[in-house]
């Protein structure tokens, strides 16, 4: 499981990997051994990261979290989403529901075989072959 090291503003400083076995809930058996039912526990992984690095602020990269986690990007705790460093173009805005940057004009869907490039000057999708 991968975890992001965050600064005080939620900026991603580093990404590290923790063994899956260190993020799973373990139950003590009657013989004193432990079994792992396989349940992921983000808190356990964060504790491992804190113990190894001494750094206090971590968040797991999970399929449930929207967006793309990358060094230099950010994690928005309030919306539980990763945000890439900056938009691909100045006119694009971030959609917190999808975790993606979106153009001000919807992508053309009438011709699925056509290829398009975003034209920032004209604020349009231009087809190319």
**Is this structure's pTM higher than 0.85?**
no
More confident position, 23 or 123: 123
Over residues 89-99, mean pLDDT: 94
Confidence of residue 113 (pLDDT cuts 50, 70, 90): confident
CA distance 116 to 87: 18
Over residues 21-28, mean pLDDT: 74
CA distance 55 to 49: 7
Given a cut of 70, is residue 30 above it in pLDDT? no
Q: Calculate the CA 55 to chain-centre distance.
A: 19
Give every CB contact of residue 79 below 8 A, 6+ residues apart in sequence.
96
Assign 3-class secondary structure to 20-65.
Answer: HHHHECCEECCCCCEECCCCECHHHHHHHHHHHHCCCCEEECCCCC
Over residues 108-118, mean pLDDT: 81
């Amino acid at each position: 499981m991968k975890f992001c090291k965050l600064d005080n503003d939620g900026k991603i400083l580093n990404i590290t990997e923790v063994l899956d076995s260190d993020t799973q809930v373990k139950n003590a058996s009657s013989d004193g051994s432990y079994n792992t039912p396989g349940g992921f526990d983000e808190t356990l992984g964060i504790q491992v990261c804190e113990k190894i690095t001494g750094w206090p602020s971590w968040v797991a990269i999970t399929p449930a979290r929207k967006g793309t986690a990358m060094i230099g990007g950010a994690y928005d705790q309030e919306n539980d989403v990763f945000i890439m460093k900056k938009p691909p173009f100045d006119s694009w805005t971030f959609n917190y529901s999808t975790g993606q940057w979106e153009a001000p004009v919807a992508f053309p869907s009438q011709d699925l075989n056509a290829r398009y490039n975003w034209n920032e000057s004209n604020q349009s999708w231009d087809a190319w072959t």
